[in-house]
């Protein structure tokens, strides 16, 4: 499926969401379910879904492992930031970030300063996330060293928490239950930052 097409869907069930929200952004570590939940959520509310990794791969014509191998992580992060800026130009879109995107200050500023953008942290303990990743057939260069991956998780966790307006604990939830939890919480959350 091409996740990067911007078809400008008209929201089917806009009443489910506050009218001022035009982008829902899912953040969290690898294995959090950002892409799976994002697709289901977008389908539920009649919005587009965009996966930042796929968007980046399409823009560069290279896979994520190729980008790491050819350019190194620092350049990967620069490319990821430009892909994020482009992605945030879309409305009525559920955007699944890559797990490392919020570590960059530029990206956090982009997310915080793009109007009508609501960020949700899908949280789970590191062992749960690591096990989920091991069951997936996705090449993730930063998971090659599990000890370093756990350190990244520890470093990033407070960043995800601070960035997001809403945190959902997903360890004991199915993807469908997580979507319900997100929609319920969204309707109970005040949407103004002031």
In angstroms, the CA 88 to CA 85 distance is 5
Cβ-based nearer residue to ligand S3P, 98 or 117: 98
Q: Does 11 bind ligand S3P (CB under 6 A)?
A: no
Closer of 14 and 167 to ligand S3P (Cβ) = 167
Decide: is 38 part of the binding site for ligand S3P (CB under 6 A): no
How many Å separate Cα 75 from the centre of its chain? 20
The tokens for 59 are 């823009």
Q: Does 142 bind ligand S3P (CB under 6 A)?
A: yes
Which C-beta is closer to ligand S3P: that of 79 or that of 185?
A: 79
Tokens 């587009």 -> residue: 48
Select 45 or 64, whichever has its Cβ closest to ligand S3P.
64
Looking from the CA of 166 toward its CB, the CA atoms found within 13 Å total: 23
Give SS3 for 168.
strand
Please report whether residue 40 would count as binding ligand S3P according to CB under 6 A: no
* Residues in contact with 14: Cβ distance below 8 Å, sequence separation at least 6, in sequence order: 45, 46
Interacting span for ligand S3P (CB under 6 A) from 109-117, 121-129, 138-146, 178-186: 138-146
Size of residue set near ligand S3P by CB under 6 A = 10
Contact 157, 89 (CB under 8 A): no
Residues 116-135 that bind ligand S3P (CB under 6 A): none
Contact set with ligand S3P (CB under 6 A): 30, 34, 53, 64, 98-100, 140-142
């Amino acid at each position: 499926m091409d996740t990067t097409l911007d078809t400008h869907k008209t929201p089917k069930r806009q009443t489910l969401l506050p009218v001022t929200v035009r982008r829902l952004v899912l953040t969290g570590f690898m294995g959090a379910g950002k892409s799976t939940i994002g697709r289901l959520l977008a389908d539920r509310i009649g919005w587009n879904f965009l996966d930042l990794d796929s968007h980046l791969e399409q823009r560069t014509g290279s896979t994520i492992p190729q980008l790491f191998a050819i350019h190194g992580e620092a350049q990967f992060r620069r490319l990821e930031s430009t892909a994020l800026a482009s992605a945030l130009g879309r409305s009525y879109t559920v955007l699944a970030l890559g797990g490392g995107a919020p570590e960059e200050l530029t990206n956090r500023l982009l997310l915080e300063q793009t109007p009508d953008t609501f960020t949700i942290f899908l949280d789970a303990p590191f062992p749960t996330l690591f096990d989920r990743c091991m069951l997936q057939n996705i090449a993730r260069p930063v998971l090659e060293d599990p000890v370093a991956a756990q350190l990244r998780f520890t470093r990033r966790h407070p960043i995800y928490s601070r960035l997001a307006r809403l945190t959902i604990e997903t360890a004991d939830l199915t993807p469908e239950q997580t979507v319900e939890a997100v929609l319920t919480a969204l309707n109970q959350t005040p949407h103004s930052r002031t």
